[in-house]
Structure 1
Amino acid sequence: MVVELFTSQGCSSCPPADAVLKNLAQRPDVIALALHVDYWDYIGWKDFFASPSNTDRQKGYAQVNGRRMIYTPQMIVMGQQDVSGNDVMGLAEAISAYQARPRPVALALQRQGGRLTVTVAPQGALPQGPIAIQLVRYTALETVDITRGELAGRQIDYANIVNDFQQVAIWDGQQTTAYTVDYDGAQPAAILVQQGPFGPVLAAAQVE
């Protein structure tokens, strides 16, 4: 179960959603990822976790789903459902709904030394098109003292801050396939198997 939060240190309405994500990060059944965007930096405080690639990912989701605008805080559940980051009830309902669905892809991970082997197998017919296998590295927790902008004077904990999306492979979804990628374990990470480029998340697992 993957929940992505698009957030910013410059967004006055984001701290409650950041707290929700921090709680989600403690759940073993949820891969909670915080993607900090850069379009609030002009207000007076530059979010040093922000990345243009995170903003591009949010825009990609919006385009695929026919939305003209992007906003924070926004959560995307399993690459499909848009939920306001502060809608705790709506988020809980979305998580429950997706947890009840069967996974169309079986995913297995195996670490040996500095290498990670990712094995994917179709559990039936998959949608046509490329399927991206991505290694997502993140920082588990950072506490930030914000001194300017809309949140000046606040100290906020940020959990599971995404640092990098690395494409491991593009899979055709036709047969069981194994891929290997360098992974030294210096940062926590997860594997996402996603209909490309901004479609449904078909499977995911944290790297142990």
Structure 2
Amino acid sequence: MRRIAGIVTAGWIALAGAVSAQDNPVVVELFTSQGCSSCPPADAILAELSDREDVIALALHVDYWDYIGWQDVFAQHAFTRRQKAYARTGGWKMIYTPQMVVNGEDDVVGSRPMKLSKLIRKHAERPSHVNLSVQRDGASIAIRAEALTDARPCDIHVVRYDPSEEVTITRGENAGHTLTYTNIARRWDVVARWDGTGIYEGRVEVGQDAPVVVLVQDPENGHIVAAARLR
């Protein structure tokens, strides 16, 4: 592992209409960077996860590796802030790439598929406390969340993403490589605060046929309590 200013990059290994969240899909966020030589295997794992119906996989490109010679074309400082917020709520001492965060609660080095699989299974087996449904209506989506038990106040997040993009990298640690990135988060908005009781209903403009993910997330501890996706 390499440690720079409180950031670690891990060594890596290679790895060969209307929707409802009632089936409890598990959200996996990969914090990655085009400037990190340890990230391509984790990017490949995320690509495999993106084909699963029981997992919502999202790539959040951070900007703290841009200084080493290549500016990640997908990086947003907001994603660096989100990663740091997870570190605070989780009590983690550092942030790093490639880091995967599972349902906003557990983290794992993104190139460790066995540990990742165990975390996904753990979260998939947990009961859902919120029924979440999302339906497309033209350029808008209609969101409905229903509390099944007493719940804490939660934020409603709407994430727009690009399913796949290919990038040729000419500088930095990955210079000379053309890499494919999957489920790239491009716009991430907190659209409402729900008190966690009764029913929340809302409508958000997202554009015609835009792939979108909706998350119900506890802002205090980071736990994602429900999620749904429209491809």
The answer, yes or no, to whether TM exceeds 0.5 is yes
Given the alignment of the two structures, is residue 93 of structure 1 paired with residue 130 of structure 2, yes or no?
Answer: no
Alignment identity in percent? 49
Q: From 82, 102, 107, give the equivalent of 1:82.
A: 107
Q: Match of 1:140?
A: 163
Give the gaps of 5 or more residues in structure 1.
none
Residue by residue over 1:28-64, the C-alpha shift from the partner in whole angstroms, topping out at 9 and shown as x without a partner, is 1111000000000011111010000000000000011
Count of matched residue pairs:
206
Contact 1:79/1:201, CA 8 A, preserved across alignment: yes
- Paired with 1:149 and 1:9, the residues of 2 have a C-alpha distance of 9
Q: Match of 2:75?
A: 50
TM-align CA RMSD: 1.1
Give the gaps of 5 or more residues in structure 2.
1-25
Q: Match of 2:19?
A: none
Q: From 178, 184, 190, give the equivalent of 1:155.
A: 178
Q: Match of 2:11?
A: none
- The range that moved more, 176-185 or 154-163, is 176-185
Residue by residue over 1:98-118, the C-alpha shift from the partner in whole angstroms, topping out at 9 and shown as x without a partner, is 111111110011222222110
SS in 2 for 1:62: helix
Q: From 182, 186, 191, give the equivalent of 1:168.
A: 191
**TM-score normalized by structure 2?**
0.86
Q: From 5, 10, 13, give the equivalent of 2:38.
A: 13
Residue by residue over 1:157-206, the C-alpha shift from the partner in whole angstroms, topping out at 9 and shown as x without a partner, is 10000001112210001111211111223531110000015610000000
- The range that moved more, 187-196 or 177-186, is 177-186
Following TM superposition, where does structure 1 have runs of at least 4 consecutive aligned residues deviating by more than 3 angstroms?
none
- The range that moved more, 15-24 or 180-189, is 180-189
Contact 1:60/1:198, CA 8 A, preserved across alignment: no
SS in 2 for 1:71: strand
Q: Match of 1:25?
A: 50
The one-letter amino acid paired with 1:190 is V
Given the alignment of the two structures, is residue 192 of structure 1 paired with residue 211 of structure 2, yes or no?
Answer: no
- Paired with 2:110 and 2:158, the residues of 1 have a C-alpha distance of 24
- Paired with 1:3 and 1:197, the residues of 2 have a C-alpha distance of 19
Q: From 60, 66, 74, give the equivalent of 1:41.
A: 66
Contact 2:138/2:208, CA 8 A, preserved across alignment: no
**TM-score normalized by structure 1?**
0.96
